[in-house]
Structure formats: structure tokens, C-alpha cells
Structure 1
Amino acid sequence: MVEVLQFLKDFEAVIYFLLGAGGIWYIYGFGRAWQEMRSAVFGLERDSAQRRLNAAAVSMFVLFALGLTVFVLVTFVAPVIPAGEIVPTQEIRLGETPVGTLSVDGTQEAGVAADPLATATPLPTVAIAEDGCVPAQLVFSAPEAGSTIRGNVEVTGTVDIENFGFYKFEVARADEALWLTIQAGRNPVIDNVLVESWDTSRLPPGDYVLQLIVTNNAGEELPACRIPVRIDPPAEEDA
């Protein structure tokens, strides 16, 4: 499920473009079938036009349903799934004798399977680009860079560019470039609330990076505005 949501988030604009192109094609076919059905003289012509009309209507409904499903998954479902990936654990069977032995110098001899976790490729760390935040266009007002946050947090800032399309507010651990979308919007925001109440207790305490990404109406994504923060446990857990 996480992989599917990540794929939809990465290719959201492409999916909308393909669905939109398909919708235009079927709308055109629906209009032609409607005109042919109205001008048909013979029953066979009318029946043929009616079948094409019904097929175009069903196709438009399916494309609309797919687009709505993608929007709901990316905007509302993805933000509630915790960031991170599931790491497989090594199975331990009670009563089973380990295979192979260790040599005197502590190295592993042949015949002993290597630990799969030892060869796992770590995720890249998050790079914080200083030129991504542009005053009066793409910038955080709160929280401030380097601040410590906990519990429910109000996120404010500005997302206002020429030919505005939409924006996304995302978060990732500082040591893992695996972004989690918290909020998305299709209206510009000028020094106002981006997220009214973000529950940071859903994430493990630690160092994180917040980012604002804005895409223009041509589908071009501008450099992200990123700031580092630290998330602490809620106050009741500190007691």
C-alpha cells in the first residue's frame, strides 16, 4: 500500500494529464454520438449511436472515478500513513542449531549465510537547499528553522507564485529522504495558515525537515523550500 501511494504521489500530475486527455476524447465521442442519434432516420442507425453514447458515458464516469480516487488517496490517505519503510527482521527458530562457526579471529567461515540487513542500502539524507525559500513567494513563517515543536502545531507561510498551480507541505526525517505529504492545496496562501493543526505526535521524536513544494499551472515543479526542525514527544510523555 505504501508503494502504491508513493507511486501515485510521484506521478500525480502525469496521471491527471492522462485522465484529462482521455476525458476530452470521450466527451468528444459522446457529443458526436448524441448528434448522430438525434439525426438518425433508421432504427439501426439510432441503436448504433445509442451504444456509442452509452459507452462514452460509462468511460467518462470511470475516468472521473479514477481521478477522484487518486486525489483522495494522495491528499487524505497518504498524510496519515507514518513515514519510513518496513524493514524485514531475521527469523529466529527456537531449538535450531546455527549453521557454521566463527574462526579464532572472529571472522565468519564459509557456509554461514550473510546477514541481509548488513548489505541493505541506506536511504539518502535530506539536503536543505538555501535558495528554495523565496520571500513573498515560497517561505515558512512558522515554525522557524531550527526550532523544536511538539503536539499540535500550526504551520503558516506564503505560497504565491506566478501561474500558480498547487502546493504540498511535506515532512521527512533528516536522515531519510522519504517524504510524507501532510497537506495539499490549490489556492495561493499569503502569510497565512497552511496547516491549522498538524499532530506531530504521530511521528517518532527526532530531527526532521519540512518542505513546501509548489507547481505551476504548466506542471513544472519549482525548487522546494526546506527548513530543519526537531520534533519532541508531547508534554504528557515528558513527565
Structure 2
Amino acid sequence: MAIVVKLISDYAPWVYAACGIIALWYFRVALQARQERRQAAFSLEREAALNKTYNALNVAFFLLLVMGAVYFISNNVAAAVQPLVENVVSPTPTALSLPTITPTPEPATATPTPSPVPTTKPTPQPTPTAPLAPTAPPIVAPRCLDARARLLRPGVNEEVSGSVQIVGSANADRFDYYKLEFKPSGAAGDPTFIFSSQQPVANGVLGAWNVSGLRAGAYTLYLRTVDLTGNFGECSVQVQVGRP
């Protein structure tokens, strides 16, 4: 509504001029209709001229009323609605607050410092090599096919000295006893008795053999297992008795 009042107030002079011209035109039409009424010979012509006169006068008076209303609005109402029109037509611009973008500093890139290159190569020093200790030959158990008598230690051609533990198995059906004997390898005659037992042994110590009083050289060790029927199993191994 305030916008309409503002427009009427701004264009009031043009409204006055247009209404005035049109009103004058209809006044002129009313005067011509009046003259036509006077000159009319018939009642119908006079009545039509009279209606034409009233219509022209009505339009003219209506235009005068419009001019009065425009005058009233432009001089009284427009002053009252002026603040509203200013707020509607010219709103106060609001400044937009833009976020401040703070640039992120880039991390400093460390410049690698080149290491000095040695001009001369160091002369490699020979690493002293420790003398290798003599490796003892592996112990090989004698191959005994008879399961009733088997020797595990000492091994084939193993060098022995002092008191030697004899390890193996001595067992049989209807077991009676076993005995340990020895003699120089290749020598004739019966072997020398070492030890005897009536307890069977399975992968254990059969007895001890003291070779301290023997001369250095090759000897053959015998294990014999005897059952109640007189049958026996035998296993032998050659060893080397060292110098005392």
C-alpha cells in the first residue's frame, strides 16, 4: 500500500493534467449535448441529448473527484507513509562478513647437506684367523646284527684311556647272564674277563673297563649274552688304547 501511495504522489502532476484534459473534453460534450437538446424537434431526441449531457457531466465530476483524491493522498497520506516507503524501497545494505583465511605456512624443507666424500679409500686390514681346533672323528657304533648283544660305546676305533664306560644292550629270551671281555686285536688265545652280570640291560651302562695298565695299541672288546639253553649272542668292537 505504501508503494501505491508513493507512486500516486510521484505521478500526481501527470494525473492532474490527464484528468483535467478529459474533464474539459466531457464538459465540452455536455455543452454540445445541451445545444442539441435545445435544437431537437422531437421528444426522443431531446431525451437522448439530456442523457448524453448527464453522462458527460457525471464523468467530468468523477474526474474532478479523482483529482481531489490524488491531491489529498500526495499532500497528506504520502507524508505519513514516507518512512515506510524508505524502508521498503531503500533497505539498508548489510555488510557481509567474510571469513578471514589465514594462509598456512608450508613446512620448511630441510636441504640435505652432502657428506664429504673421502678422497682415499682405507686399506682393509687382514683379520687374524684363529687356528682351527682339530676335529674329533665322529663316534661310529659297531654293526651288531644279533639283537641279543649290541654295543653303542665305545665306537669303532675310538681312542680310549683310563676307565671306559661300556654302553649297550644285553637281553634275550630266557636270559641267563652277559659278560664283557677283551684282547689285543689279532692276538691268539682266549680273551681277558672284564665284568659279568645276570641283570639284562637295554641301552644302558653294561660295565666299566680300566685300560690304564694296557700298552697302547688296538684292542677288541667283546660282549656275549648267554641264555638258559646255552645259546649266546655276541658283539665286538675294535678300539685304540692311547698312551698313558
TM-score grouping bracket, smaller chain normalisation = 0.3 to 0.5
Greater length-normalized contact order (CA 8 Å, ≥ 6 residues apart): 1
TM-score scaled by length of structure 1: 0.40
TM-score scaled by length of structure 2: 0.39
Bigger Rg, which one: 2
